[in-house]
Structure 1
Amino acid sequence: MVKCIEFDIPDVPAPTNPFLGYWGSQLIIGHFSDSPKVVTLSSTFVRCVFSAREDYLAATQHLRAAFQSTRAMHLSEPYRSISRFEACISGMYLAERAFMRLRRCAELSAESAAVINHEKPAFISAAVRDRLKNMRDTMQHIEELLAKGKLTEDLP
């Protein structure tokens, strides 16, 4: 009897405008702000969102490859998947922090502030923000927990 493992992994569509227009408009007409702080925060947000998506997609590919029924399981695939999921979480954590700081940035023009604060995205809700922070903190401090003997179960 052959057991089959199926995955229901949601796709993350590629960002569209204003993301795609962000880099292009910087190259052609310049940044929407003269403030180095605004430029850094907005660029960090866009860069981290793009890289987190790429890490997520790579992680799902490695996970699927680990359990393909057409070949023997390669032990490196789950570890590659874990590494890419961790990079995705770190990227989204940084993106969320940059976005929150950008929303509150005093150097943001009134027009830009009105656009960025018009709707509150779900990823900055307390529930999502706290979950990202907890996952990221656990990943960052896992060696410390192991060394101090505070990790008594399998890795989270």
Structure 2
Amino acid sequence: MAQVAIESPNVSDGSAMWRLARDSGVLDLNSSYAYVLWCRDFSRTSVVARVDGAVGGFVSGYVRPDAPDTIMVWQVAVDERHRGRGLAGGMLRELVDRVTHTGVRYLETTITPDNTASIRLFTALARNRGTELERRELFPADSFPDSHEGEDLYRIGPFRPASSGT
């Protein structure tokens, strides 16, 4: 059985996160610099899953500056060797548990309408936490200058800190 540790990323994890995003085949790939910078500036609102010591997945997020009770989950990636084992859900649960102690009560993410795996992941999070999930169009396809699909906003919450019985 693999040893899994979910923890905040270090700057040295940025290159592994970039590779996971690249190899996912579905995530928008940012520059390698962006992932390294993310690990420095948003390590408290992001997590990596270390599987037997190596980065096997990540969730990148940030607290919205204009909504300090809301974390925006930017990307979720799991190495294909570790998919189907609940790693993405475990990382999301850990992240929610961490940020609710800082006043965060809601999680937002955007998902393209055809991404059934992500829709299932975030729907399960809301269901398992016994909270609301709202979905609405956020960015129609014509918001983008390329062939990017539209993005729907998923808003989940309110969450309670884990110590209060979630």
Fold equivalence (TM over 0.5): no
The normalised TM-score by structure 2 is: 0.25
Higher relative contact order (CA 8 A, sep 6+): 1
Structure of greater Rg: 1
Which structure shows the higher helix fraction?
1
The normalised TM-score by structure 1 is: 0.26
Which structure shows the higher strand fraction?
2
